[in-house]
Chain A
Amino acid sequence: MIKVVHYINQFYGGIGGEEKADIRPEVREGVVGPGMALQGALGNDAKIVATIICGDSYFNENLEEATEEILQMVKNYEPDLFIAGPAFNAGRYGVACGTICKAVKEKLNIPVVSGMYPENPGVDMFKKDIYIIETANAATGMRKALPAIAKLGMKLAKGEAIGSPAEEGYIARGVRKNIFREERGSKRAVNMLVAKLKGEPFETEYPMPDFDRVAPNPAVKDLKNAKIALVTSGGIVPKGNPDRIEASSASKYGKYDIEGVMDLTQETYETAHGGYDPVYANQDADRVLPVDVLRELEKEGVIGKLHRYFYTTVGNGTSVANAKKFASTFAQELVADGVQAVILTST
Chain B
Amino acid sequence: MDLENQKRVLELSEKYGKENVVVVLGSSEAETAGLAAETVTAGDPTYAGPLAGVSLGLAVYHIFELKDEVDADVFDEQCGMMEMVLDVDAIAAEVKSIREQYSNF
Contacts and interface: CB of A to CB of B under 8 A. Distances in A.
B35 interface: yes
Given A36-B53, A140-B35, A12 B45 contact: no
B104 interface: no
B48 A12 contact: yes
Interface string B22-66: 000000000100010000000001111110110000000000000
A140 B50 contact: no
Interface string A35-56: 1110000000000000000000
Interface residues of B, number: 11
B35 A33 contact: no
Nearest to B49: A14
Interface string A302-338: 0000000000000000000000000000000000000
A196 interface: no
**Band of interface residues on A:** 10 to 19
Contacts of A140: 31, 35, 45-46
A14 B46 contact: no
A33 B47 contact: yes
B52 A139 contact: no
A33 B48 contact: yes
Nearest to B50: A14
B45 A142 contact: yes
Interface in A137-191: 138-140, 142-143
Nearest to A141: B46
A92 to B, nearest CB: 16
Contacts of B53: 36-37
A143 B45 contact: yes
A34 interface: yes
A34 to B, nearest CB: 4
A142 B49 contact: no
A276 interface: no
Contacts of A33: 47-48, 52
A17 B35 CA distance: 20
A58 interface: no
A11 B35 contact: no
Contacts of B46: 34, 138-140, 142
Contacts of B48: 11-12, 14, 33-34, 139
For the complex of A and B, the 3 pairs showing the least CB-CB separation, nearest first, are A139-B46, A34-B47, A36-B53
6 contacts: A11-B48, A33-B52, A37-B53, A139-B47, A140-B46, A142-B46
Given A139-B47, A142-B45, 16 more contacts: A12-B48, A14-B49, A17-B3, A34-B46, A34-B48, A36-B53, A37-B47, A37-B53, A138-B46, A139-B45, A139-B46, A139-B48, A140-B45, A140-B46, A142-B47, A143-B45
Interface of B: 3, 31, 35, 45-50, 52-53
